[in-house]
Amino acid sequence: MSLIPRLLNKNCALAALAVGALAALAPLALAAPTALDDGLAAANRGDFAAAFQIWRSLAEQGDPAAQFNLGLLYENGQGVAQDDVLAFRWFFAAAEAGDVEAQDEVGLMYEVGRGVLQDDDRALAWRLKAASRGLAAAQTHLGELYERGAGRLPDMVEAYAWYDVAASHNPSASEDEREAAAQDRDALAWKMTASQIEQARRRARELAASAAADREFTGR
């Protein structure tokens, strides 16, 4: 089993882990860089048990990057017995501390009911947090939730708007993320009227402007 690939977007160091497939781990943040480096080095050589011990110590001290990495190990059963409940616990801790990838992961776990009771409203709320902070993957995921009407009636205008933000208004989105979001947006457009599409495009511009203002204010 290999860690789920992650596309991270933060203004600090990124680390990639290859075990069968590349998987990005949380960046070095709010902890002694050498300690997280030691965990990453251990994971890169396949010693997940050692990585687990290093990250658990940091996670218990409240470091969100280590908490996110620990969640990945529990989620995938690497260096420790697979445990969705403990994975959720550590992802949730990181999410509450402000880790944007963890916020999207918590949204996913609420959406599918993995490690926690299924809850569409909480799935939507957590993915909205991550999407509003500029995570392209979360923006597309949020569009999907609105399109299928998770916990409510489908909202094609809001779904299209979030797809469009990821596809056309997010400077941090990768080319693959933009293409995937554009495909979802364009497929949804076939179900919409011209008036709805225009409304959704205006909404996308509003969302993008709000996100840009937030980045300017916070320095992200």
- Contact present, 178 and 172 (Cβ < 8 Å): no
Tokens 């995921």 label which residue?
A: 141
pTM above 0.75, yes or no: yes
The string of pLDDT tens digits covering residues 163-194 is 999 999 998 899 999 999 999 999 999 999 99
- Contact present, 37 and 28 (Cβ < 8 Å): yes
Q: Which CATH superfamily is domain 1-26+33-102 in?
A: Tetratricopeptide repeat domain (1.25.40.10)
Distances 35 to 11, 51, 65, 112 between C-alpha atoms, Å: 19, 10, 11, 33
End-to-end CA distance of the chain: 34
The string of pLDDT tens digits covering residues 68-117 is 999 999 999 999 999 999 999 999 999 999 999 999 999 999 999 999 99
Q: Give me the percent of the chain exceeding a pLDDT of 70.
A: 80
pLDDT at site 215? 54
| Residue ranges of the chain assigned to CATH 1.25.40.10 | 1-26+33-102
pLDDT at site 35? 84
Mean pLDDT estimate for the chain: 83
